[in-house]
Structure 1
Amino acid sequence: MGQNFILPDLGEGLTEAEIVSWLVAVGDTIAIDQPVIEVESSKSIVELPSPYGGVVEALIGDVGQVVHAGQVILTVTDTVAPSAGTPTPPPSPAPPAPDSGADSGADSGADSSVAPAGSASGAVLVGYGTSENTRPVRRPAQGRFGIRSSAAQPAAVTPATPATPPRVAPTPRSGRSPVVSPLVRRLARENGFDATTLQGSGPDALVLRRDVESYIRDRAAAAAETAVAAPVAAPASAFVAPVAAPVAAPPAAPEAAMKPEDIRIPISGLRKVVSERMTTSRREIPEATVWLDVDATELFAARDRLLAATGERFSVTALIARFTVAGLRRYPLLNSSVDTASQEILQHGAVNLGIAAQTPRGLMVPVVHGAHALTTRQLRDSIAGLVGQAADGAFPPAALSGGTFTLNNFGALGVDGSAAIINHPEAAILGIGRMIERPWVVNHELAVRTVVELSLVFDHRVCDGGTAAGFLTFVAACIESPVSLLADL
């Protein structure tokens, strides 16, 4: 008897997801709560466990296909089927369902370590089973803010060797390269090959978009060389004729072969959600921007003194986040959103600080909930945890919702400033540019100081320039003299 695994409700109002990869194949024997499929919603990538055990009869849906809640995606049959000559015993009455958390084998003599084929698990959250998931988590070593994860580092550094373009090998039976981004998979699929057969240049041989694009370029170049090398030699008699044969002009075909191909990239998944949210922000919010150059020399000195006093490292981003939270408590209107239906400004009591992060899946804004109630050490640890998850973009949906204000450290991308787009429905976003040494006037004398540009984009419906400027100058004063924050603690 077959059991149909139906795509469950993904929560957060999400009704569809894209198949990233199948973790099982037809004919495999699976256990209850074993992860069988990896899907990407507009919020995150999750593994879904099967509520049934048995033999996989059918996988309904291809990688890259969009499936909807309530749709059958996998069929499981009983592990053991009766033979043709063996009579089927009459079915026995089904035992009552055990209570949640009870051991169903406690009162029977059967071996409780083996789940009955075709049986179902209890209530299962999306992406999590009732049994422990032993699949290793893929985490690259570098985050958005330049903070390395505390995970195990490589034991030795391999000497640099000349880079070679990735090549497609014959489809291997094992040892495929990992591919995280659905965009990379789709790009390879649209060009007629499987991205997992490439040798990736990312951490742990992770296949990146540049690897796929490099292979596409190499393949086009190889096709052009083949066309140029086509037989164009004249007959042997032409070389013994008394009159020299004219040199043939190169064929026009190679020029057409060298023409780069257009690539269509579907706007789907996370990119679709980001596009819709940014469009809504530009359409609804009358935004204004104020910016300020700040001497951050004392901020670095304070960070070094904290290290000497506590033996713990505090990142510059964590310290500025501390100043930002203090500024929002002083200027709470910036910690608001606009309810367009009731035409009201909703001033939030809690500060849920969003940290903009560039991930392999694109721009994401994970949130430190209740940042106003955290100590500087707790805030630092919370941000470090988000940075570690940003390395592979594997955020749970709850971590990407509920933000009230966003901090964007685009200086990590090597730029001084940016006219950022407010993360709708929030009312403001604070940007941090790169910190570099510049000439600066100190006590009427020219000196070399570490300078950073701060920019604040705010919703002019919520407040006027006076409030925005007050908040920005408060944060700037804390950066220039971190000890000044003590008066407000």
Structure 2
Amino acid sequence: MTTFDLPDLGEGLTEATLLSWLVSEGEEIVIDQPIAEVETAKSAVEVPSPYAGVVKTLHGAVGDTLIVDEPLITVDTGDGADVPDGAGAQPYREEERAGTDPAAADEAGDTDDEGSGNVLIGYGTSSSAGGRRRRRKGDGKGSAVSEPASEPAAAVPEKALRVSSPLVRKLARQHGLALSSLRGSGPDGLIVRADVLAAADAGDPAEAPAARDSSESAPAPQSGAGAPAPGGLEIVERTPVTGMRRAVATKLSQSRREIPEATVWQDVDVTELMQLRAKLKATSAEGAPSILAFVGRFVLAGLAKYPELATRIDTDKSGEQEIVRFDGVNLGFAAQTEKGLVVPVIRHAERLSARGLHTEIGRIVGQARDGTLSGKELTGGTFTVNNYGVFGSDGATPIINHPEVAILGMGRILERPWAVDGELTVRQITTLTLAFDHRVCDGGTAGGFLNFVATCLQHPAGALADM
């Protein structure tokens, strides 16, 4: 038997919702056959099997939240050997196991007879489903080793808790729950997120930590709806930060931590651009590209002049950094969906005209809102454009989409008084904002790029003639 865990989904994603099983128990499958459809924080994807054989167990029901490295499917590969949970997914774990010391593992007692040695955070591996687990000395928590199932429970008071992931442990800490007091509902008593939330909702005082000082300056932690909060307010709801919301929070927090960000902005007269679009709508059978498509086209021309803003910073293990430049631009467009903010990417966008960008933007943004984009189209961006003007905002300070080094934001277009040739008149004005990573360039480059894009928007016909 071989158990295949949910593989790394990329881009920092740690969980997925099971949408459907594409195979059933007892069915014979082949290598790379899709076995399940899952929805990550970014898109719906099919998971292929790295093994051929007969499906013995499907770990999870439709609608369940699955955690990366948690068992997904058990397959009878016909080799007559039982492979423990997590040990079978070797094609997906080469990076995780890189640098391990086999000699040290042997010294600690990990042998082929006892288990895979591929110990996962939160739970260990064993040689059989019937074996018990205990903590190994050394790290306080350690990995799991086998011992006979017949040994009395009292003889193994330090038996390892079966917890689906570090996220479940963290959630338990946040709710003040002791994992040892929880009963797992997962396979073989595995403690999953639902178990922690159920215990938190029950609000059992026995599971809460020792009470702290009850003074207002150090209120005791509370859990559950209706619990008193500082200032006398009542908590009416707790919503776990999960899925796309957590993915967005993680990426934006990482951006703020790692990038020394600076911001420049400029008001732009786009009256001529609006007139050009109106003329194209009236005279062209193909209609007119959107404002966002024109902005994208001018941004790409600007990046050709100021390529520093479409690079990335690579940091090696010693802390040394390199600025990496690419052959082309993968242009991302921030899109608001029902599940949160995503940034679908147009690859090699520099090859497209304004009309081509218009078509691609419509396609990727539409699919992003439908949740049908592939993971490939949500990764690999080198520059992002964010049109927050559609939400009624005049301006903002956009956060760089890590690991990119710059993002251009655009506010709404408003009629404002504007001086033209010494005369005050009413023009259509928008505000462009550029946030950039000060490690890759200085204000001169950022300001030059922003002014170039602004000039193109002010005089679009002349700018397009040179593109």
* TM-score, scaled to structure 1: 0.56
- Residue 295 (structure 1) aligned with residue 294 (structure 2): no
- Residue 475 (structure 1) aligned with residue 453 (structure 2): yes
String of CA shifts for 1:195-249, please: whole Å, max 9, x gaps.
xxxxxxxxxxxxxxxxxxxxxxxxx9xxxxxxxxxxxxxxxxxxxxxxxxxxxxx
Q: C-alpha separation between the residues in 1 aligned to 2:342 and 2:453?
A: 24
String of CA shifts for 1:313-341, please: whole Å, max 9, x gaps.
31110011101100111111111112233
Paired residues of 1:289 and 1:457 also in contact (CA < 8 A):
yes
Q: How many residues align?
A: 315
Paired residues of 2:310 and 2:406 also in contact (CA < 8 A):
yes
Paired residues of 1:356 and 1:408 also in contact (CA < 8 A):
yes
- Residue 327 (structure 1) aligned with residue 302 (structure 2): yes
| Worse overlay, 302-311 or 331-340 | 302-311
- Residue 273 (structure 1) aligned with residue 273 (structure 2): no
Q: C-alpha separation between the residues in 1 aligned to 2:14 and 2:407?
A: 30
Larger relative contact order (Cα-Cα within 8 Å, sequence gap ≥ 6): 1
- Residue 12 (structure 1) aligned with residue 17 (structure 2): no
How far the C-alpha of 1:384 sits from its partner, in A, is 1.1
Q: Which residue of 1 aligns with 2:357?
A: 379
- 3-state SS, counterpart of residue 351 of structure 1: coil
How far the C-alpha of 1:12 sits from its partner, in A, is 3.4
Q: C-alpha separation between the residues in 2 aligned to 1:20 and 1:412?
A: 33
- Residue 443 (structure 1) aligned with residue 421 (structure 2): yes
Q: C-alpha separation between the residues in 2 aligned to 1:14 and 1:408?
A: 22
| Worse overlay, 439-448 or 63-72 | 63-72
How far the C-alpha of 1:58 sits from its partner, in A, is 5.8
Q: Which residue of 1 aligns with 2:228?
A: none
Q: Which residue of 2 aligns with 1:60?
A: 60
**Residues 302, 381 of structure 1: CA spacing in aligned structure 2 closer, same or farther, 3 A cutoff?**
same
Q: Which residue of 1 aligns with 2:105?
A: none
Alignment partner of 2:435 out of 447, 450, 457 = 457
Alignment partner of 2:256 out of 282, 291, 302 = 282
- Residue 347 (structure 1) aligned with residue 345 (structure 2): no
String of CA shifts for 1:259-302, please: whole Å, max 9, x gaps.
86432222233333322221221122111111111111111111
How far the C-alpha of 1:11 sits from its partner, in A, is 5.0
**Residues 323, 15 of structure 1: CA spacing in aligned structure 2 closer, same or farther, 3 A cutoff?**
closer
String of CA shifts for 1:174-209, please: whole Å, max 9, x gaps.
xxxxxxxxxxxxx9xx999xxxxxxxxxxxxxxxxx
Counterparts of residues 15-30 of structure 1 (less than 5 Å): 16-22=14-20
How far the C-alpha of 1:430 sits from its partner, in A, is 0.4
Alignment partner of 1:318 out of 293, 310, 323 = 293
Paired residues of 1:477 and 1:484 also in contact (CA < 8 A):
no
Q: C-alpha separation between the residues in 2 aligned to 1:281 and 1:14?
A: 13
**Residues 337, 57 of structure 1: CA spacing in aligned structure 2 closer, same or farther, 3 A cutoff?**
closer
Q: Which residue of 2 aligns with 1:389?
A: 367
Alignment partner of 1:432 out of 387, 390, 410 = 410
CA RMSD between the two structures: 3.8
How far the C-alpha of 1:75 sits from its partner, in A, is 8.2
Paired residues of 2:331 and 2:384 also in contact (CA < 8 A):
yes
How far the C-alpha of 1:64 sits from its partner, in A, is 3.9
Q: C-alpha separation between the residues in 2 aligned to 1:353 and 1:476?
A: 18
| Worse overlay, 289-298 or 41-50 | 41-50
Paired residues of 1:40 and 1:269 also in contact (CA < 8 A):
no
How far the C-alpha of 1:382 sits from its partner, in A, is 1.2
Q: C-alpha separation between the residues in 1 aligned to 2:53 and 2:281?
A: 53
Q: C-alpha separation between the residues in 1 aligned to 2:24 and 2:364?
A: 37
**Residues 58, 340 of structure 1: CA spacing in aligned structure 2 closer, same or farther, 3 A cutoff?**
closer
What one-letter code is carried by the residue in structure 2 that aligns with 1:460? H
Unaligned stretches of 5+ in structure 2? 77-196, 203-224, 226-232
Alignment partner of 2:388 out of 410, 423, 427 = 410
- 3-state SS, counterpart of residue 391 of structure 1: helix
Paired residues of 2:314 and 2:323 also in contact (CA < 8 A):
yes
- 3-state SS, counterpart of residue 370 of structure 2: coil
How far the C-alpha of 1:362 sits from its partner, in A, is 0.9
Q: C-alpha separation between the residues in 2 aligned to 1:53 and 1:434?
A: 57
Q: What fraction of aligned residue pairs are identical, expressed as a percent?
A: 45
Q: C-alpha separation between the residues in 2 aligned to 1:27 and 1:390?
A: 33
How far the C-alpha of 1:395 sits from its partner, in A, is 2.1
What one-letter code is carried by the residue in structure 1 that aligns with 2:290? S
**Residues 486, 72 of structure 1: CA spacing in aligned structure 2 closer, same or farther, 3 A cutoff?**
closer
| Worse overlay, 274-283 or 454-463 | 274-283
What one-letter code is carried by the residue in structure 2 that aligns with 1:71? P
Paired residues of 2:6 and 2:72 also in contact (CA < 8 A):
no
Paired residues of 1:22 and 1:37 also in contact (CA < 8 A):
yes
Counterparts of residues 37-48 of structure 1 (less than 5 Å): 37-48=36-47
What one-letter code is carried by the residue in structure 2 that aligns with 1:316? I
- 3-state SS, counterpart of residue 463 of structure 1: coil
